Amino acid sequence: MSDFLYIIAEVTSDAVSAVQQQSETASTLYDLLIMIPGVLLLSYWIGRGSIGELANSPIRRNWVPYFVPFALMFVWHMLGSVLPSITGSLVQKDTASYDIALHLGRALVDIGMIVLMLFLAGNFFAGGVKGFGLDIRRCLQQFKWAVVNYIAIIPLVQLGVAIIALTGVKIEQHETLVMASQSDSMVLKVIIVIFVIAVIPIFEEMIFRGMFQSMIVGFINSKWAAIMLTSILFTAMHRSETHWLALFALSVSLGYAYEKSGSLWRSIFIHSIFNAVSISLTLLQ
């Protein structure tokens, strides 16, 4: 069964068991459709020696101060910490209205951070937002490549899940996916889908790949070291005890895609496709 659905976060074991049983057929079909071409594509690239080569990748000239990405993360974390209390003071807890308001609040916080990072990118990157990796003219081309890269990434993520599973650790599902599948509110489902597919990938790729990774590359002049250090931070921030290896594999793949292409669109699209498949299979159970 495709355990990649259960990446990132914690829920009760009973809820996880129920989701696993209900989604078994869809996940098995997914495995057949994606894993075989994914393994073949990854093997082809490895055989050609194109995996790992970053010497000729695009250069992103920037002068991002080392404290800026950490300051952004601190502000985002603080806003996220007080959001439940603010929402609870306005809307009754343990209701669909509370969950809707909370997710709308989180989306607004992330969108605000995205706008702030676009402003900073315009000031700290040579070429502004385009130098940041968001050239709108390359958007469609990068989406096509993101689909191909996503297929090749899935076997790596699955390998991370399989290694952890061998230790006997039970797979856990993200609480947001559980909420989306169990809620009777169509409004909440729609908000969660938009939040997971559109808002989260843009925010996370901009702050981790765009800001942190670019800043580290500028300081230590080593793209692979920057990818690894950023991936460690990415994994730690998601606080997943059971899927840290899969998260790390995903982050390394996203970081590599960013450096190889020079486009933040590619890592955003890969991340978005990954999330879209996860939540789609969850809702279709």
Q: What is the pLDDT of residues 110-164, one digit of tens each?
A: 999 999 999 999 999 999 999 999 999 999 999 999 999 999 999 998 888 888 8
Exposed / middle / buried, residue 143 (Cβ in 10 Å: 0-12, 13-18, 19+): middle
- Nearest by Cα to 79 from 181, 261, 193, 203: 203
Q: Which residue, 153, 123, 268, is CA-closest to 209?
A: 268
d(CA 10, CA 219): 35
User: Residue 34 — pLDDT band, cuts 50, 70, 90?
Assistant: confident
CB contact set of 192 (below 8 Å; sequence gap of 6+): 103, 176, 179, 180, 279
Compute the CA torsion angle 25, 27, 28, 30 (nearest 10 deg): 120
Q: Is 214 left (phi over 0), alpha (psi -120 to 50) or beta?
A: alpha
Rounded to two decimals, the pTM is 0.87
14 has pLDDT over 90: no
- Contact yes or no for 250/7 (Cβ under 8 A): yes
pLDDT at residue 158 in the model? 85
C-alpha distances in Å from residue 136, one per residue of 141, 143, 258: 10, 11, 15
User: How many Å apart are CA 283 and CA 268, to the nearest integer?
Assistant: 22
Backbone angles phi, psi at 125, to 5 degrees: -115, 135
**pLDDT (tens digit per residue) in 230-277:** 999 999 998 766 778 889 999 999 999 999 999 999 999 999 999 998
Distance CA(186)–CA(197), nearest Å, equals: 16
Residue-level pLDDT at 64: 94
CB of 267 within 8 A of CB of 258?
yes
Share of the chain above pLDDT 90, in %: 58
Lowest mean pLDDT among 22-31, 56-65, 240-249, 263-272: 22-31
